[in-house]
Chains A and B, each alone.
Chain A
Amino acid sequence: MEFAFYFAAGIAVASTLRVVTSSNPVHALLYLIISLLAVAMTFFALGAPFAGALEIIVYAGAIMVLFVFVVMLLNLGPASAKQEKQWLTPGIWIGPTIFSAALLGLLLHALFKAPSGAEIGLASVDAKAVGISLFGPYLLVVELASMLLLAALIAAYHLGRHEAKDATP
């Protein structure tokens, strides 16, 4: 299980790097899908199959489809790939990289100073346990999220309706 976790985590990191460095937008999205699948794999290895399956269904199967959908419509050609390459100069990425590396160092320091000592993938968190904690201690968060989603739904409906009204002669 430990091997599976580190293997999938390595793939996730490598493919996420390729998302940033790839100059073709659709290829970058393909790497992002692989990265999400690898994250789902780490969930499986950690013993949370429900979270892993939801990661694939929601992120890789639904949200990324919309991303690919929009990028496909933009009709990006070699010109945009050239532009992407021009933007990826060291002057642009070196500053954020140093700051992120500092944050990563801090995180690693905190993790290695006080290791939790928990074993990987011994306990399996099934759907029932997830449901009990969602509708028990985290009920308020679930309700707030549902309200936020309802607001987004109404806003999307409003926008779509407006355009439809304009289109009719």
Chain B
Amino acid sequence: MNWLTPELIEIVIAVLKAVVILLAVVVCGALLSFVERRLLGWWQDRYGPNRVGPFGMFQIAADMLKMFFKEDWTPPFADKVIFTLAPVIGMGALLTAFVIIPITPTWGVADLNIGILFFFAMAGLSVYAVLFAGWSSNNKFALLGALRASAQTVSYEVFLALALMGIVAQVGSFNMRDIVDYQAENLWFIIPQFFGFCTFFIAGVAVTHRHPFDQPEAEQELADGYHIEYAGMKWGMFFVGEYIGIVTISALLVTLFFGGWHGPFGILPQIPFIWFALKTCFFIMLFILLRASIPRPRYDQVMAFSWKFCLPLTLINLLVTGAVVLAAAQ
């Protein structure tokens, strides 16, 4: 029996690691719905869900039971194939983007040499979830939400990519592990690439359709926007997909700007996962704090802010970074 070769064992271990990371991300996304409501309650000086179990911790179980047993209703006027496909894209796209994130020196799903580009590709494809959901629902509000979403996402993706090109120019690689190693040897990118961080964070919030960029949903105006016709598990996939987007963007921010699994000033290198998790939690909470504190701007203001402020800022940042890299090379 020589089928148990070292290569096979390695493959099995890699697959197991990938499955563990997948489950951890999805469970984090599901738990966030409870965490968000508790934190919002805390910040807005009210209770939030606190009845089910200690501190309301079993609220998530109650919500999941409700969602599983709700009727999974497809409207008769909807385009059935695309109506079913949209939530799959919505949850899958940003979940797939998580594969490029190196969690610790030994943990991480895929070590791609086009690293960041893979994330851009998946972020680009995630637009289709909203577009298809809005169109196939055959509903005015859903279509309006989808149109807003696609215009917003296409605008913000332009500088989502440009904001990170400063990092790529400094490191000289798209690979995420190279970027983390470069930060450990030099400075964390939050200092030399501060404007890149600001614009990438704004674009990241816009790509996940989170407050204050939740134009596609805009409960007050559009009565829930693109997922107005969805119910049961399909709606749940949109819901969890949004939280998975938050987790992915937070992990990307940590990896790209805050040194990934390294602690500040290289202290305690024995606990890489703890550092990574702590920093990611911080950014997830920042996403929720944004929702608790900022009002929603008007749609044309969102578009004007993207093209007239953020895009020039990223271009200037990229030019200055390029000049610095050239000057340092000579």
Contact = CB atoms under 8 A, between A and B. Distances in A.
Interface of A: 24, 26-27, 30, 33, 49-50, 52-54, 56-57, 60-62, 65-66, 68-69, 72-73, 124, 126-128
B154 interface: yes
16 contacts: A26-B79, A26-B135, A49-B114, A56-B121, A57-B124, A61-B121, A61-B127, A65-B127, A68-B150, A69-B131, A72-B134, A72-B135, A72-B146, A124-B113, A126-B113, A128-B172
B117 interface: yes
User: Across chains A and B, which 4 residue pairs bring their CB atoms closest together, nearest first?
Assistant: A61-B124, A53-B117, A56-B121, A72-B135
Nearest to A56: B121
Contacts of A72: 131, 134-135, 143, 146-147
A67 B153 CA distance: 15
B interface bracket (residues with beta carbon within 8 Å of A)? 20 to 34
Interface of B: 79, 81-82, 85, 112-114, 117-118, 120-121, 123-125, 127-128, 131-132, 134-135, 143, 146-147, 150-151, 153-154, 157, 161, 172, 174
Contacts of A127: 114, 174
Most buried by A among B112, B114, B134: B114
A62 B124 contact: yes
Nearest to A66: B154
B195 to A, nearest CB: 22
Contacts of B161: 57
Contact of A68 (B118, B123, B131, B172): B131
Contact of B124 (A52, A60, A73, A128): A60
B202 to A, nearest CB: 19
Contacts of B131: 65, 68-69, 72
Contacts of B147: 69, 72-73
